[in-house]
Amino acid sequence: MRIFLLLFVLFCSVWATRVSDVANIVGVRDNQIIGYSLVVGLKKTGDGTTSKFTLQSIANMLKAMNIDMNPVDIKSKNVAAVVVTAKFAPFARQGDAFDVTVSSIGDAKSLEGGTLLMTPLKGVDGKIYALAQGPVSIGGKNEKGAGAESHSTAGMVYGGGLVEREILQDMIHQENATLSLKSSNFNNAIAVQKVINSRYNAPVATAIDPRTISLKLPKNKTMVEFLAEVQNLDINYVQESKIVINERTGTIIAGVDIEVKPVVITQGDITVKILAQDTVAKPSGSVTMDKSLVIGLNENEVYTEKGTTTVANIARSLQKLGATPKEMISILQAMKSAGAIAVDLEVI
């Protein structure tokens, strides 16, 4: 049985960062737009006859050009039906260009070399906000070993979108604005409130809840000037620790200072013992692998120096013992269930 012992210590994470890095301005955001169209010019890699909607779309397009065609008579494999998606940037103006994503919805094998026909892009309200058209780039070769054939049914049209309808936002006459923290935290909300009020020596900011800060425009400032200054202010940001686990790839992402409390966990032939003590007696003849990792004579015992009991240290120790990613993930999940790890554990 493989055993390793770890010691227990507490760390705290406080970082200096700008307000713009931790908070968004409510109302200043991207908007999603979507459309349906055809990609033409494919080299027999388009939709087959089983994609009835593609044949109907071709017939409708030809009819709009005064060519009456029955969908059942269309045999072309050079056309593919696609869904076009994009993000409509805040304050975008008429004529501004942007990138769009094109994705096949039929049985096309590849969109390589195709051209997207003019596509109206609509918002959730059903109104047309932009048009898209242009050559499709799939970003790689459609060859085995050289690119991603499985991804060739989706591509980009760079600069292919053009803004037709603007989303008007009248900031020049605004007297109030709202900041929304990217994650809820009482300390961070108060920190933002204090640094803004200190900057203007007036109660212009009020923390409404752990995520929302209401702003009032100070005198002799425009809203644009005010928000630009607020976003550049530095605060002492309390970072909330989290462990993110990707079960499919075995990837574990964790801060180096996430503590683990005393616990004993057994997973297969691995036993993890975390002891709350200042020193651990090391076996004579042990080998130091790095500053915090020592492997015993039988290579089944792992010890750590004082003050190194963290998730990062556990992951490194398990890796030295040859634990599989699945075993490492199971151990961390068991520690979380046992209460040894206090931070949130997110499995993706």
CATH number, domain of 211, equals: 3.30.1360
**Which carries the bigger pLDDT value, residue 108 or residue 327?**
108
Shared domain for 82 and 117, answered yes or no, is yes
Domain boundary among 110, 145, 163: 163
At 209-246, the pLDDT tens digits run 999 999 999 988 999 999 999 999 998 877 777 777 77
What is the number of structural domains in the chain?
3
**Do 174 and 211 reside in the same domain of the chain?**
yes
Q: What pLDDT, in 10s, does the model give residues 59-106?
A: 888 888 888 888 777 778 889 999 999 999 999 999 999 999 999 998
CA–CA separation, 292 and 307 (whole Å)? 9
**Percent of the chain surpassing pLDDT 90:** 39
Task: Please indicate, yes or no, whether residues 151 and 177 belong to a single structural domain of this protein.
Answer: no
Residue where one domain finishes, among candidates 133, 163, 193 = 163
Asked if the structure places residue 39 within a domain, the reply is: yes
73 vs 256, residue with greater confidence: 73
Q: Are residues 157 and 36 in the same domain?
A: yes
Residues 69 and 139 in one domain: yes
Residue 2 lies in a domain: no
**pTM for the whole thing?**
0.66
**Does 10 reside within a domain?**
no
| Residue 258 domain boundaries | 242-347
DSSP 279-347: --PPPTT-EEEETTEEE-TTS-EEE--TT--BHHHHHHHHHHTT--HHHHHHHHHHHHHHTS--SEEEE
